Amino acid sequence: MEDQAVCCYRHPQRETGITCTRCERPICPECMISASVGFQCPECVSGRVSSGSGASAAGPPPSAARPRTLAGGTMTSDPRLITKILLAINIAVWLAVLSAGDRLVNDLDLVGRAYDPGTVQIVGVAEGQWWRLVTSVFLHQQLMHIAFNMLSLWWIGGPLEAALGRARFIVLYALSGLGGSALSYLLAAQNQPSLGASGAIFGLLGATAVLMRRLNYDMRPVIALLALNLLFTFTWSGIAWQAHVGGLVAGTVVAYGMVHAPRDKRALVQRGTCVLVLLAIVAMVWIRTVQLTG
């Protein structure tokens, strides 16, 4: 007889292998609140669950007064808020591109250094147009391109935001996107334009793998998805593989620092990891700029 799947008591459709250390009910990443030992469910943290002996719980200890996510972020009523905002920004920029045409794309895409016949000028990041490292992450032209990226953002981003918290999720997304832009700027041809949120999405995919490993979930689905995406990255023409790899590496490193940081040194380790990734991004941009302008 096969074992019955264990699902979160608050989200019955989600399988999990984690239980609350107080009431021992199964909980998913969205419901997990970091405690001094293991994780607790929102009800135990708020003091609404009775103790095993039947007496009313005395209430949460001071250290658990504010519900926290796995990475130490504050629990929120809408765990997908930042994901929704990122979706809205990407779609808004895409609609602006449909309205304004190629001129807006030429002003916002990622290009190292190239001649722009529209302005009769040399343009690019090497010419001081640093904003292209950021704006290109929110820029799409083709319907299938933005549709695939936004579906991926919705499926992957929501659970990550719930597990990390809003602030950490924003940092993860930003550094993943910048990591993809920086590696593309460093390794791609100087006049090769690139755009899209794929670097940031790959960073979220790497972070998902780190989180699932941390929770001892079955890694086969995410590994298969990652392998399939990397296969497409290196076999399909017209794909900036540098952005995908840069985002994947940055997102994986940032996520590892966030979810594996020891509780007593959590802030130090998490901030230190993010600073190191940011310094690596700055170094890549500086090296390439010197190459193109020296």
Give the model confidence (pLDDT) of 4-18 as tens digits: 567 888 888 877 767
**Nearest 10 degrees: CA dihedral of 145, 150, 152, 158?**
170
pLDDT reported for residue 264: 86
Q: What is the pLDDT averaged over residues 211-237?
A: 87
pLDDT reported for residue 136: 96
- Please give the Cα distance from 210 to 197 (Å, whole number): 20
pLDDT reported for residue 205: 96
pLDDT band at 44 (very low <50, low <70, confident <90, very high): confident
Q: Is the pLDDT of residue 65 over 80?
A: no
- CA proximity to 45, closest of 28, 30, 55, 31: 31
pTM of this structure: 0.79
Render the burial of 114-131: b for 16+ CB within 10 Å, e for the rest.
beeeeeeeebbbbbebee
- Please give the Cα distance from 177 to 166 (Å, whole number): 17
Alpha carbon 291 to chain centroid distance? 30
SS3 category, 176: helix
Residue % of the chain over a pLDDT of 90: 56
Residue 180 in tokens: 């993809």
- Please give the Cα distance from 277 to 178 (Å, whole number): 10
Which residues are the active-site residues?
A: 198, 244
pLDDT band at 32 (very low <50, low <70, confident <90, very high): confident
CB 215, CB 259: distance < 8 Å: no
- Please give the Cα distance from 30 to 216 (Å, whole number): 15
Q: What is the pLDDT averaged over residues 125-145?
A: 95
> Which of 37-41, 166-170, 275-279 comes out lowest in average pLDDT?
37-41
Q: Is the pLDDT of residue 157 over 90?
A: yes
pLDDT reported for residue 25: 83
Query: Which of the pair, 162 or 272, is modelled with greater confidence?
Result: 272
Q: Is the pLDDT of residue 82 over 90?
A: yes
Residue % of the chain over a pLDDT of 70: 89
- Please give the Cα distance from 177 to 136 (Å, whole number): 9
